[in-house]
Structure 1
Amino acid sequence: MGRIAVIGAGMGSLATAARLAVQGHRVAVFERAETYGGAVGAFRRDGFAFDTGPALLHLPAVYRDLFVKTGKRPLEECVELVQVDPASRHLFPDGTDLALPNASRAGVISALDAAFGAGVGERWGDFLGRARVVWERTRRPLLEDTLREDTAPLGRDPYPALKRGLLRRAPATVAAVGERELRHPGLTALLSECVLSYGLDPRQAPPSAAVLPYMEQTFGSWYVRGGLRALADAVYERCEERGVEFRFGAEVTGVVEEDGRATGVELADGTRQEADVVVRGAPGEPLPGDLGRFVVLLALRGARPADAAHRTVVHGTDAPHDGSPDGPAPTVRVLRPDDDRLVPDAGHEAAVLSVTVPPQGAVDWRAPGYADAFADRVVAVAGAAIPGLAERLLWREVRTPADTERETGAPGGAVPAPALAGADGAWLRTANRGVPRGLYLVGGSAHPGGGLAHAGMSGAMVADLVAGGPGGSR
């Protein structure tokens, strides 16, 4: 039985800690903040509750596996999972109103045909068929196995693009895939928004990012009653059940190294904690293309209409928005959970608006009045999804990448995106086995990248590596 020091209490760290504790190790988690969950946070005021990070769960099988492997109670006994249907509603500038069913390819094709015209849905279905090739070629090396030393195969883009034109060159970005293959503004907007929602600029992300809408529409979108913070609560409780020790308000300033091996951690108060293995789950340096989230939390008077969609996208620009007042309208995601745990009573509603934006530094979100002015614009756009929004608004809370940086320690408040193949490996994350020996890396800054499911997978990979295995998450 070894001593394990885990730096950070984000979801990847929690998943690792629970698995290592089951292996019989003595696990201690050191977290600079006063709570766990990392980016999976919550804001509460006046009886309202809001998710401040991820709000939907994709690939819930990752957390089902975690709970099966670490205790007797399965995931569904610890949290209440609800399949979101429709998966999303989309409002376009030309007035088109489109609702896409959850995890139904035939249903999606029918909805697209009805909204955009016969044959358009089939074009999207053919695109998802090519995206499935990306899933099949990268599922194991990107999601099920730790990153190998030879990453050259992952530097080649696996998307089987349709090559058009005289030179028949493959598109360089996923935005170029949309323009060339989808050939419809509504379809290209759907693709771009999905990629943006993962914190990627479609004008920079490689064609392999086509796997993201494939995953969502194939495996579905799920909500956790009480908000995604309830999932963090459940994983934390599982860690405590397994005997994991937590020390909050304990900032780690360095990894202690002796003879080329990690032997513990040094804390901000000058003390050292010895360990046989160190797992680093704290945020690392972002990739150049990592983006942030601008979030507006709305407390609304009046009940949520029964027919309101859980997630509505009001489409604007297909690119990250810098908050400038004279730029194009932003694309705003509007989340309206049907969840009485989030409101003080049935006569109120809690809604979350989010926009993908550059991180702090690329834009000064702390500049006086800048964030509030952009929030005004975001709320105005969201009015298309929430009729009477201005009259219903009780109060709002604005959160920028600068707030994310302060609360989680992520540089610039950047939100790591999932690892992607192609672009000569530019979108791969740091390997799970670190330097010196005995140091392992987990969470969004490490392989396989950001997102709730990916954090859970990285936890499984690291636990397997510590046990002497090959680093598989299966």
Structure 2
Amino acid sequence: MARIVIIGAGMAGLAAAARLGTLGHRVTVCEAAPTYGGMVGRYERDGFAFDTGPGVLNLPAVYRDLALKSGREPLEQLVDLVPVEPESRHLFPDGTDLVLPNASRGGVAKALDTAFGAGSGDRWGEVTNRGRAVWEATRRPLMEEPLPEGRLADPYPRPPRRGPAKWLPRGSYTLGDVARRELGDHPGLTALLTEYATRFGLGPDAPAGATVLAYMEQSFGVWYVRGGIRALADAVFRRCEQRGAEFRFGTRVAEVLTAGGRACGVLTADGERIDADLVLSSSPDPGLGWEKPGGGLGRVRVLLALRGARPEGTVHRTVVHAGGADWERDALLHEESVPEGPTVQVLRPDDPSLVPDADHEAVTLTVTCGVREGDDLDAYAGHLLDHLAKSGLDLRERVLWREVRSTAWVPVPSLAGGTLNPPNGTGVPGLYRIGGGAHPGGGLARVGMSASITAGLIGPA
């Protein structure tokens, strides 16, 4: 049995504690905040409740595996997990209204043909087929196994070049290149492709392999946890307690201690020493063994308490696309501060547990953008509501109150051909990295995999 200290009780820390406790280790989790969950937070006021982090779940197989490996129960016995159907609605500046089915690539192709004209579905399908090739080539090294040494080439299978271009040197091939060369710069298809990447903090200069994000979502589906994604954090926390993990909230770790070149415990901000055989850190703090990967994109979230019932037939997730796609791409490339008329994700779950009664609705707006100190985010929330109204989604007269939250950093997924997040092992024996800033990167599924990979490296007691 090893004594293990985990720094941070976010989803990576919770998943690691559940797995390592099941393997027979003695686990202590130190969390600076007063509760667990990290970015998977919850805000409650006047009978309304909101997720302050992710609002939907991709690749639930990661947490199904955690549930089975740590307790031999299906995830569906721990939370009420339901598919989001339809998967999304997309409102474009030219008035196009596109509704995409969940986990149905054939249905997506049909919807695209209807919205954008015959052949659009086939063109999109060719790109997502290449995304499938990326998934098959990178699923194990970039999702399920320790990060291999060296740079991984982007396995995106580029289409053959024709004409004089075939004689030019083959440089890097980006998501923007896919939009231009394979989607013909079609404004709707381009906006759809880049939105998947933008949600993960990636710009149009991301490797073409970022098409895997669209492939994964449209092939494996999008899911919702009733009660909000915070209910998933609650379930994993309960599993940690069942496996004997000790939680120390309000305990900020100031330093990872070493002896003989090996991690031997942590020192808290209060000066307390906690001895350990192994330390896992989900905190991108140089004093704790590693620094946050580069990237300056953040998120702005606006939580809206609305009067009036959720209208019949309302889609769970609506994406209002930017009025100036070229301008937004430039803003993302240069990490400019809160842009005007951006792409906005609107979450409107049909979940009675999130509202005081049936005559109210809880809505969350999310924008991925640069966030700078001094930005007037409440004024920006008003701008976003005006922007939605111009797109035909006017919520302004129903707003009882709004709460604005922001984060200055979006953990991005590791992508072959791009910047890879640091590996789970470190140069210090006994010290490991987990969480969104480590391999395999950001997102609920990937932070869960970082815990699984690291638990595999450590092994049973």
TM-score of the pair, normalised by structure 2? 0.93
Equivalent residue for 1:103?
103
Please tell me whether the aligned partners of residues 20 and 460 of structure 2 are also in contact (alpha carbons under 8 angstroms).
Answer: no
Please tell me whether the aligned partners of residues 171 and 177 of structure 1 are also in contact (alpha carbons under 8 angstroms).
Answer: no
Distance 1:468 1:174, change over 3 A: farther
* Equivalent residue runs for 1:154-169 within 5 Å: 154=152, 156-164=153-161, 166-168=164-166, 169=170
Structure 2, unmatched stretches of 5+, are 286-290
Partner deviation per Cα, 1:233-275 (whole Å, 9 max, x = no partner)? 1101100011100000000011110001111000001110000
Structure 1, unmatched stretches of 5+, are 402-412, 470-474
Tell me the CA shift for residue 323 of structure 1.
Answer: 5.0
* Equivalent residue runs for 1:108-119 within 5 Å: 108-119=108-119
Q: How far apart, in 2, do the equivalents of 1:16 and 1:142 lie?
A: 18
Match status 1:428 vs 2:429: no
Match status 1:389 vs 2:395: yes
Residue type at the aligned position of 1:141 = P
Tell me the CA shift for residue 388 of structure 1.
Answer: 4.4
For residue 456 of structure 2, give the secondary structure of its aligned residue in structure 1: helix
Q: How far apart, in 2, do the equivalents of 1:192 and 1:67 lie?
A: 33
| Count of aligned residue pairs for this structure pair | 443
CA root-mean-square deviation: 1.7
Partner deviation per Cα, 1:100-129 (whole Å, 9 max, x = no partner)? 000001000000000011011100001111
Equivalent residue for 1:453?
445
Please tell me whether the aligned partners of residues 386 and 394 of structure 2 are also in contact (alpha carbons under 8 angstroms).
Answer: no
Q: How far apart, in 1, do the equivalents of 2:5 and 2:128 lie?
A: 42
Partner deviation per Cα, 1:32-90 (whole Å, 9 max, x = no partner)? 11111111111110000111111110000000000101114321011111100111100
Tell me the CA shift for residue 384 of structure 1.
Answer: 5.4
Tell me the CA shift for residue 436 of structure 1.
Answer: 1.3
Identity of aligned residues (%): 57
Please tell me whether the aligned partners of residues 290 and 417 of structure 1 are also in contact (alpha carbons under 8 angstroms).
Answer: no
Please tell me whether the aligned partners of residues 320 and 388 of structure 2 are also in contact (alpha carbons under 8 angstroms).
Answer: yes
Residue type at the aligned position of 2:196 = C
User: Which of these residues, 345, 364, 373, is aligned with residue 333 of structure 1?
Assistant: 345
Equivalent residue for 1:376?
382
Q: How far apart, in 2, do the equivalents of 1:305 and 1:385 lie?
A: 17
Match status 1:124 vs 2:114: no
Equivalent residue for 2:288?
none
* Equivalent residue runs for 1:256-275 within 5 Å: 256-275=257-276
Distance 1:186 1:89, change over 3 A: same
When structure 1 is superposed on structure 2, of 171-180 and 221-230 the one drifting more is 171-180
Equivalent residue for 1:410?
none
* Equivalent residue runs for 1:346-425 within 5 Å: 346-359=358-371, 363-364=372-373, 366-367=374-375, 370-383=376-389, 387-401=393-407, 413-423=408-418
Tell me the CA shift for residue 387 of structure 1.
Answer: 4.5
* Equivalent residue runs for 1:88-99 within 5 Å: 88-99=88-99
Q: How far apart, in 2, do the equivalents of 1:55 and 1:374 lie?
A: 21
Tell me the CA shift for residue 287 of structure 1.
Answer: 2.9
Residue type at the aligned position of 2:381 = A
For residue 166 of structure 1, give the secondary structure of its aligned residue in structure 2: helix
Residue type at the aligned position of 2:422 = T
Match status 1:462 vs 2:458: no
Equivalent residue for 1:231?
232
User: Which of these residues, 187, 201, 213, is aligned with residue 199 of structure 1?
Assistant: 201
Residue type at the aligned position of 2:174 = T
User: Which of these residues, 187, 190, 194, is aligned with residue 188 of structure 1?
Assistant: 190
Tell me the CA shift for residue 461 of structure 1.
Answer: 0.6
Partner deviation per Cα, 1:327-357 (whole Å, 9 max, x = no partner)? 6511111100000010000000000001101
For residue 440 of structure 2, give the secondary structure of its aligned residue in structure 1: coil
Q: How far apart, in 1, do the equivalents of 2:259 and 2:392 lie?
A: 59
Distance 1:278 1:82, change over 3 A: same
Q: How far apart, in 2, do the equivalents of 1:451 and 1:335 lie?
A: 17
For residue 57 of structure 2, give the secondary structure of its aligned residue in structure 1: coil
For residue 418 of structure 1, give the secondary structure of its aligned residue in structure 2: coil
TM-score of the pair, normalised by structure 1? 0.90
Please tell me whether the aligned partners of residues 113 and 121 of structure 2 are also in contact (alpha carbons under 8 angstroms).
Answer: yes
Q: How far apart, in 1, do the equivalents of 2:441 and 2:297 lie?
A: 13
Tell me the CA shift for residue 9 of structure 1.
Answer: 0.5
Distance 1:59 1:177, change over 3 A: same
Equivalent residue for 2:16?
16
Q: How far apart, in 1, do the equivalents of 2:58 and 2:67 lie?
A: 16
For residue 19 of structure 2, give the secondary structure of its aligned residue in structure 1: helix
For residue 458 of structure 1, give the secondary structure of its aligned residue in structure 2: helix
Tell me the CA shift for residue 289 of structure 1.
Answer: 2.8
